[in-house]
Structure 1
């Protein structure tokens, strides 16, 4: 009987082991700590527990003037005060999810008190009267060191994660400037907006043009100008679109600072059109991230730059090029204070001085239009062609056709080319007009001398 009972018990144990129990639910990712006290200059890394495979984790500081944080989650104490580090989890094709907040308190630090020894009273020693000099050397007062101004852009608006398309990057090495046109995909995350580059004929991509000027041309600046349209949801959960033009400069230390222009149809985010914004570019994984920051202390609305009208004081009577444009689809963003659109096109040329086609034949070039309240409509079309010059030699031409559409299109173009035959064009006065035929024809002119 005892053997039978033991046999039944053993069977039950074995069955229980074979049947098993539900697996423990996967643990959620979380920060290794939620509060930290630091002294100015100290660093502390936020580590993520229970990381999700193939997920990315982003870190954003509410006050970079107090505490900065790197893409790897390293906090650096900058100045006395308090800040919050928001940590989010980004999984492909899913909305970024907040996994935690780290409260940072930064202090100036406490100086160590050095104990002072009790004074010892010594017997007075007679001394001879001191002989004082009659001529004193001049006292040099050092100039006070100017304190660096604190960064006023302390409120984080959104982070734009840029993934460059390695198959769509084009360059032109001109005599005055080295031009790079790079296409990219963007994903945006933040407390005010979440979204991605708008899908369409360009495959959901934007483009940035980098102009690296040589020598003293344009003061040797390295200029950036990115343009794209994104779609997503605003801080109220409403679907919306944004047109973003981000103009920036790269400084000698490699820092890139931008000044974004934002046009959105979100009623909740209309204030972005006149807010004092600044972009900070840094490396992120296999791409870049642009943190858009807001100077909340500046309550004066930022007004749009005046539209620059093309020059009409010269006699532009010498035609250089004719570019033939096939117009494709367009995407627009309309707001209460401005309208914008991006008109996609292909381009070719078969004129006497140049024969060639656009390097992107997939409707990737854009004519960008902007019109703010009280202004005429501005236009800016950017494209690169590859072909042969008047001598039959291979060459590349970059065209940036800036102008206005005020009952007719007139432009003042910039042309950069690697053709020695046309190097002079880069610094020549230029003028653009249009005509219609089977295609839209862009005529480029200069003066006779």
Structure 2
């Protein structure tokens, strides 16, 4: 069965445009309600969190209507990070967790992510079954079995305590000056509060959400503001989150940005030295830099690659019994502490490395030498299939031939946006640029005709 609603991370799109409409959200709520309330009782519960997008109110209400119409009891958390939903789904013994967020996307987009009762994201098989139920339509229960909905006021505080517990008690943050950029998103209160309670001197930015400014000129995908703030305030480090706080970029005291690969490289080697890295394996996606793989091999460790998407990283981790993984984009998954990527938790692990080693952030963010890598995106319209165009196929084939023994080319459709992502990795910078330009130009021409 072909997917109609679900992408690599739930359902996502422009708010008030199909499929991200209130009507579809109600149908989705009813479908997942039917899927999880499978014994007909009213003991089943679902927790719903959201980020700070204006459209979150609409989807929160629509999902609640769909879920309660099938007999599910709904607990509304309000604005909380995505990892908080995974945590609270499990700790509150809920059957389902729902996060309303489009992560790093602009404010006009929104999305719906799902967590099972164990706090992990749903499997492909579960999503396909829910798609079938969405197509079947709403199947309401009798009036006496309609579910209840109520707000939970302490969800953020539960999450903060869990975050704090992931930092070793012997690691004091007193005297550490930290800039935290919350992208005007879900962690705008939780992140500064957690860092302050742990003793850090906190300089918050991106903490004034208005429903329309999430990820705008701030956050992990646009870290310039955080970089400038770190330098201007003489901070020791910057922690730059995205809109739902499941991603992080680290900024050193000089204002340089370290991506997820560098963070994973640091944590993997430290954990291995401490005997904490299960099986000597780090799990990352095909997008991670070849330099990371070489670095791990030199340390006697192994990189296991997956398809793009943190859910696929987590699936590989669970299958292999590994406890550290993530993505170059900043999803860092530590299954000893969390069920999904947690930007703030990863930031705390970096702070622990700084404190325990006595090193500057700039000494820690350059764990390995990267192989030159270039990523460009080409936007396409609904219904277009530029990768099926013969001229594009020909250019891709020629490019792959040119890179044999010198680098690699990765082309894929984004699972969250209408984009073709073109990534080339090659130590020959001239060839790198030539290949990227050739492939991007061919796709651009295909989508413009």
Q: TM-score range by the shorter chain?
A: under 0.3
Higher strand share: 1
Higher helix share: 2
Q: Which has the higher contact order (CA 8 A, sep 6+)?
A: 2
User: Normalising to structure 2: TM-score of the pair?
Assistant: 0.22
